[in-house]
Homo-oligomer: A and B are copies of this chain.
Amino acid sequence: MRVGIVGLGLIGGSLALALRARHAVRGYDADRSTREAARAARLDVAERAVELLPADAVVVATPMAAVLPTLADLAPRADGAVLLDVASVRAPVDAFARETGARIVGMHPMAGGSAQGFAAAGAELLRSRPFLVVPTATADAPAMAVAGTLARDAGGVVTVCSGEQHDRIVAAVSAVPLALAAALALAAEEVARGRLADVAGPGLRDATRLALTPEELAVALLSLNAAHVLASLARLRALLDELERAVAEHDDEALRAILRRARETRGRLG
């Protein structure tokens, strides 16, 4: 396929590098130095997003704030190209597709890391990662097939879910963990009185790594998906209540039972 990719950061850059073995990939990034870095990696890079058309598919992998403007730019000129986007919150894209009729499918790789930008991108970032493939109201079977093919060709493992399911899941597996990581880092720093590095081991580092999420993505994950985030936080607080009660009452049996369930659950993630 002829595949365009708008936004060559960590995710878009990794998609470009993963897909070029099997597809004619062309990329674009609003940042000139990113375009130069991508060219240095022998990617075909355009000077404007609309130059990625005509194509069979264009993937929008920009920061959240630029997703709808980019889709609005591409949609009138798409001429049959399937528009894909990696947005971490589906509701705004869903609404856009409904309003404009643009044929859009979400393709959200559950991948990332604390390093950012094209310099950190690589095909291996996406290998064996879950890709949530999410239809909008305008997604037909051929468009879904394109998304599935590209997700698999990028090395991903496809799970299809509705936009509503996606947003509920991402609240629980990305947004709430990020909020907790931030709260944990701040609470630990208070106790360590500015000397956290002197007392923190690998456990706290892992537990707080998501606090490194780039600010714009972090705000989008929490604020644009507020309803699901609040519901997920409420459920988390209920589980914390159970743990807290067991600790306060020295009910080691109850504590053990919760910890055992959690350990088994986490163990299945490998």
Footprint of B on A, CB under 8 Å? 109-113, 129-130, 132, 157, 159, 168-169, 171-174, 176-192, 195-213, 215, 218-219, 222-223, 226, 229-230, 232-233, 235-237, 239-240, 243-244, 246-248, 250, 252, 255-256, 258-263, 265-270
How distant is the Cα of A168 from the Cα of B248 in the complex, in angstroms? 16
Complex interface: chain B residues within 8 A of A109 (CB): 201
- The distance from the CB of A247 to the nearest CB of chain B, in whole angstroms, is 5
Residue with the highest number of chain B CB atoms closer than 10 Å, among A183, A192, A206, A259? A183
Option from B186, B190, B230 in Cβ contact (under 8 Å) with A247? B230
CB distance from A213 to the nearest CB of B (A): 8
> Which of A168, A177, A235 has the most C-beta atoms of chain B within 10 angstroms of its own C-beta?
A177
Query: Given A188-B173, A207-B209: A180 and B247 within 8 A (CB)?
Result: no
Max chain B C-beta neighbours (<10 A), residue from A184, A237, A266: A266
**In the assembled complex, which residues on chain B have CB atoms less than 8 Å from the CB atom of A215?**
256, 259-260, 263
Asked whether A232 lies within 8 Å of B191 as measured between CB atoms, the reply is yes
How distant is the Cα of A199 from the Cα of B158 in the complex, in angstroms? 9
Cross-chain contact A173 with B186 (CB below 8 angstroms):
no
Q: How far is the CA of A139 from the CA of B196 in the complex (A)?
A: 26
| Complex CA–CA separation, A230 to B244 (angstroms) | 7
- CB distance A210 to B203 under 8 Å? yes
